[in-house]
Amino acid sequence: MDKIAVLIPCYNESSTISKVVKDFKRVLPEAVVYVYDNNSTDGTDKIAEEAGAIVRYEHRQGKGNVIRRMFREVDAQCYIMTDGDDTYPAESAGKMADLVLKKNVDMVVGDRLSSTYFKENKRPFHNMGNSLVRKSINVLFKNDIKDIMTGLRAFSFEFVKTFPVLSKGFEIETEMSIHAVEKNMYVENVIIDYRDRPEGSESKLNTYSDGMKVLKTIVKLYRTYKPMGFFGAIAILLCITALINFVPVMKIYLETGLVPKFPTLIVCGFMVVTAVQSFFAGLMLQTMMQKNRQDFEMELQRVYEQKKRLLEDK
């Protein structure tokens, strides 16, 4: 088991990967640097190996697939995950690792948005998207993570070995943040400097398509982790809609004793029935979520025992 493992998912980062590897080896000389190449065609893997990294491969395209592979294969007391595009300074890694190793933090978030991100990043829609995602998650999941989409994070062994990777692409960062909050894991924010990509390095993130995937991921995870809130909101919306349409029908009935809009009345009835069904669906799923949380705590204990055995065998 490594003390600190630096994990770098890469796809065509030949212009920057050597500097990234060398920077992290300089700042964390005790760390083992792993570069996971995701079908690069520009020699990223060879350059990373020459810079001193251990190079491994994930042939299914997508950052989520790469992270799934990294988390399965690497055992470490502390994991530092960064991007290979040299936008995140290695100098913050030491402080982040200390929080995991000495303070038992489960996830340390490299917070770009509180420092230089909005000034350095040249893509205004990325800026708006990051702010929207942060606000949405902080409101829906009642937390205070400062940067949801950051690519620089530190993790504990317990986080890495209990995190179920479901996303295939860039929405993986959102998934990590929500998982940490919902499983009551210890999260800290560390403000970091951010610099835009250097000349010759191109972003793999599509502002619109990947942005929509992130928003869909938030909705899906809210439905999964907060079923009472999700289905309860649907129930309330249906009841309000039914009431708005029912009031005119009731008014005419009280004035004339007639119901001229039977179709409207029937639809209102069905909407109320659907609202009741939605409410009880949320109630049942919320009970199941509570049981899942209890099972997760037992899984955490199993992973902790596994970590102790790995440290004893070291």
Q: What is the pLDDT of residues 246-275, one digit of tens each?
A: 999 999 888 888 888 888 999 999 999 999
Q: Which residue has the higher pLDDT, 206 or 34?
A: 34
Q: What is the per-residue pLDDT across 192-241, written as a single tens digit (0 to 9) for each?
A: 887 776 665 555 566 667 678 778 888 888 898 899 999 999 999 999 99
181 and 34 co-located in one domain = yes
- Which has more pLDDT, 137 or 176? 176
Last residue of a domain, one of 224, 247, 270: 224
CA–CA separation, 58 and 192 (whole Å): 29
- Predicted confidence at residue 218, as pLDDT, reads 86
Asked whether residue 35 falls in the same domain as residue 168, the answer is: yes
Of the candidate ranges 16-25, 126-135, 297-306, the one whose mean pLDDT is the lowest: 126-135
Residues 32 and 179 in one domain: yes
User: Do residues 240 and 218 share a domain?
Assistant: no
**Rounded mean pLDDT of the chain?**
88
Q: Answer with the residue of higher pLDDT: 245 or 198.
A: 245
Residues 117 and 174 in one domain: yes
pTM: 0.81
Residue 205 and residue 79 in one domain = yes
| Parent domain of 243 | 227-313
113, with CB counted inside 10 A (0-12, 13-18, 19+), is: buried
Closest to 106 in 3D by CA, of 192, 196, 183, 9: 183
The helix/strand/coil state of 179 is helix
pLDDT (tens digit per residue) in 132-159: 777 888 888 888 888 888 889 999 999 9
| Domain identity same for 210 and 137 | yes
Overall domain count for the chain: 2
Q: What CATH number has the domain bearing residue 117?
A: 3.90.550.10
